[in-house]
Chains A and B, each alone.
Chain A
Amino acid sequence: MAAARPVQIRLRGVVKSFGEKRVLAGLDLDVHEGESLVVIGGSGTGKSVLLKHMIGLLAPDAGTVEVDGVQLSELDYRAITTFRRRFGMAFQEGALFDSMTVWENVAFPLRRAGWPRDRIAARVAECLELVHLDGAERKLPAQLSGGMRRRVGFARAIALEPRILLFDEPTTGLDPVIKAVIDGVIIDLRRSLGSTTVTISHDMKSTFRIADRVGMLHEGKIIAIGTPDEIRSCPDGRVQQFIEGRAEGPLSD
């Protein structure tokens, strides 16, 4: 079903090294329009690095990244600024503007897009309510807990209802109830807007809840990708060890 949809993000042979350390080693990946892809993988395997390549924050040493048929490396600094309007991204650590209040953080993309005041106010209130943070509008990021910051970052990413959403561990460190709420928001965004979402997750329960497809990143490549059922029954020992969370197995060697 998902395979029939056109490809929105296409990565081919992406290589990225930091100094001597090779993080991505010729990675190929297609993300289809309107699908929800979840990327899993061990800590430090390069999931965040992969996500930053999709939006052009990092440029590959070799290989290509194509979004909606446009090769990101061919855009100059002005073109890519405009191009990014179709994206929303929530960072792993929130990356909130620490000189602005929660309200101003969520309003930032709306203001930059030139929305009128009353619509901004309504939309900010709506987004904060979605992540259960109504009442925290006037707080500064330094006054928030880690989980709250992450949720503000999430609200800021979805405020403009972009067509492509990248979430870097949106639910890590949240309590189970809020986790389910955020998962619900991600599912709704895809249903009501048809947005494409790429989510990084360590949590198998929410992975299988939100994913149309799951891909596993290991040693710089996607070693397995498929529907949740395909992944559950994947014969690869590394995938099985990861989704079952066992200490012994091929990943531990």
Chain B
Amino acid sequence: MKRLLWAAAALTLLALPLFTDATLGHGWVRILDFALLYVLLALGLNIVVGYAGLLDLGYVAFFAVGAYCYALLSSPQFNLHWPLWVLLPLGAMVAACFGVLLGTPTLRLRGDYLAIVTLGFGEIIRIFLNNLGAPVNITNGPQGVSGIDSLSVGSYNLGQTHGWGFFEFVPVVNAYYLFLIGVLLAIVFSHRLERSRIGRAWAAIREDEIAAASMGINTRNLKLLAFAMGASMGGLSGGLFAGFQGFVSPESFTLMESVMILCMVVLGGMGNIAGVVLGAVLLSVLPEALRAAGPLQQEWLGRVVLDPSNLRLLMFGCALVLMMLLRPEGLLPARARQRELHGE
């Protein structure tokens, strides 16, 4: 029975992009692709926020680092064209280094202070990317890097359409499968980390840092490890994003993105993988669905009464307020979080 469920879930995940492509079109598959990138980001942030209990409001910086890493080494910018299997791990590793770089000065900070410093870090990275166009042109400044090589695994170029028998694998569908692999890996890694000696140490730090240290946990190293692990998933997501879009610019990496990723983690239920995945999917897919509200109003009311983008923000705000009132632990909370907020 359980096996049957797993098989059904696997089949659904595999068939989803083909089905969506056939019914709703490329645009919706693209939305699914972005949902997967957001899931990857949310899983990474979950390690920092959910497992180790450290607030990070600049998380998008690691996404940016991964994206630019890919962009600069696989585009006409420096005329480098490194392969995917080098670029993705490299991006994850560079992002992890930045994670440690951010983590180090924030080790003594907590709560509000930590939030503000991490927020600043996110902005600094973006500003750097914006300004490293001159005098030596590294990032091409606000124009960003374009002409990035499309994702390709060996000789299989994911940026081209491949027909396999009855099925047609368009670029957005190809990307879906690659991203899905990334997400599944991230889920397995998160799950195993959570249940390991390392995960227990993170939970202990989250619960009581002094008690954790007194039990022999090196709180400094474990916090840095959480920052690094979280950042590496952000970096991986960034690399995939760059190869998928073929273009990156600093404006993709604003504070709003960090806030959005944090909302995904909090809304879904921080510390719980299923919750985080749900939160990321909901918050990345629902706003897109709301776009349809414009044409619908036109059709039914004769004019657009409520601008869809305003409607999105309105719904988003309402959802968050409702969540904080009714279910502060998130939709699918981790056991421990639920206890923290509601007692037993």
- A and B interact physically: no
Interface residues of B (CB under 8 A from A): none
